[in-house]
């Protein structure tokens, strides 16, 4: 006969799987319980149990699912999104140091010094990404950029819409710093435009409280044959 685990022991034993569930939401964006079960090869019951704990701990929060296009019958499935405290649990050991450094730079050099710092920060990113982006066809460049961003910890994906491709960054290692210094987001957006050779529009940012950083890339116009 099996001995039932004490609640504390069960919580400790479940911690690695619970972290996988939270990280999956972090990397893929708001997800339903069914999507998580399929993605992580877990039973729906197990996923729901972990979701209950993560919501209770403030790591995830339930939201109404956004429906794109025609909505079917019935209520849309509930999705679970990462919270700001949830993001904090994964990263940003140098957040405070970076924030204090930029505050000092702003006080001593002004806004122009911060903007120059932001430009230099994305210059390295742009140099490393350019060969990867330019190696593919123009229509595939948003996905090549998203793949490069993912390698750097931004957990990026691409969603195709009626107006073009949307690059979605589900994670931002500098979100808290960018909240106070939006110059970082602005410099990144300009770098994306240069890399893709197209005007792009930042629709949402994690730094402004949105769940995902979303950049719209218009569909390239083809010259008439």
d(CA 169, CA 51): 22
Concatenating the DSSP letter of every residue in 132-194 gives HHHTS-GGGHHHHHHHHHHHTT--EEEEEETTEEEEEES--TTHHHHHH-THHHHHHHHHHHH
Element (H, E) at 210: none
Q: Domain 95-218: which CATH class? A: alpha beta
Max distance between CA atoms of the chain, in angstroms, equals 76
Per the confidence metrics, is the pTM higher than 0.75? no
In contact, 156 and 150? CB cutoff 8 Å: yes
SS3 224: coil
Return the structure tokens found at 148.
């490069």
Angle subtended by helix axes 95-134 and 183-196, to nearest 10: 10
Reported as a single tens digit per residue, the pLDDT across 90-140 is 655 456 778 888 999 999 999 999 999 999 989 988 999 999 999 999 999
Q: Domain 7-88: which CATH class? A: mainly alpha
Return the structure tokens found at 10.
């069960």
d(CA 65, CA 34): 13
Return the structure tokens found at 110.
């002004």
Q: Please tell me which residue, 224 or 33, carries the higher pLDDT value.
A: 33
pLDDT level of residue 10 (50, 70, 90 thresholds): very low
What are the domain boundaries of the chain? 7-88, 95-218
- Residue 96 has what pLDDT? 72
């Amino acid at each position: 006969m099996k001995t039932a685990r004490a609640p504390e022991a069960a919580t400790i034993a479940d911690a690695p799987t619970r972290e996988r569930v939270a990280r999956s939401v972090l990397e893929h964006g708001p997800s339903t319980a069914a999507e998580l079960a399929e993605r992580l090869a877990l039973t729906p019951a197990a996923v729901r149990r972990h979701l209950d704990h993560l919501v209770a701990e403030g790591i995830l929060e339930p939201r109404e699912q956004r429906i794109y296009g025609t909505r079917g019958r019935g209520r849309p499935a509930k999705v679970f999104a990462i919270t700001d405290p949830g993001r904090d649990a994964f990263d940003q050991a140098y957040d405070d140091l970076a924030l204090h450094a930029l505050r000092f730079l702003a006080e001593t050099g002004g806004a122009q010094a911060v903007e120059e710092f932001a430009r230099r920060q994305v210059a390295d990113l742009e140099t490393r990404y350019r060969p990867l982006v330019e190696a593919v066809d123009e229509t595939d460049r948003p996905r090549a950029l998203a793949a490069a961003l993912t390698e750097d910890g931004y957990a990026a994906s691409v969603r195709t819409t009626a107006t073009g491709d949307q690059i979605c960054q589900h994670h931002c290692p500098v979100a808290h710093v960018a909240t106070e210094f939006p110059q970082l987001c602005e410099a990144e957006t300009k770098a994306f435009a240069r890399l893709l050779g197209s005007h792009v529009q930042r629709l949402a940012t994690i730094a402004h409280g949105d769940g995902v950083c979303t950049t719209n890339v218009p569909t390239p116009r083809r010259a008439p044959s």
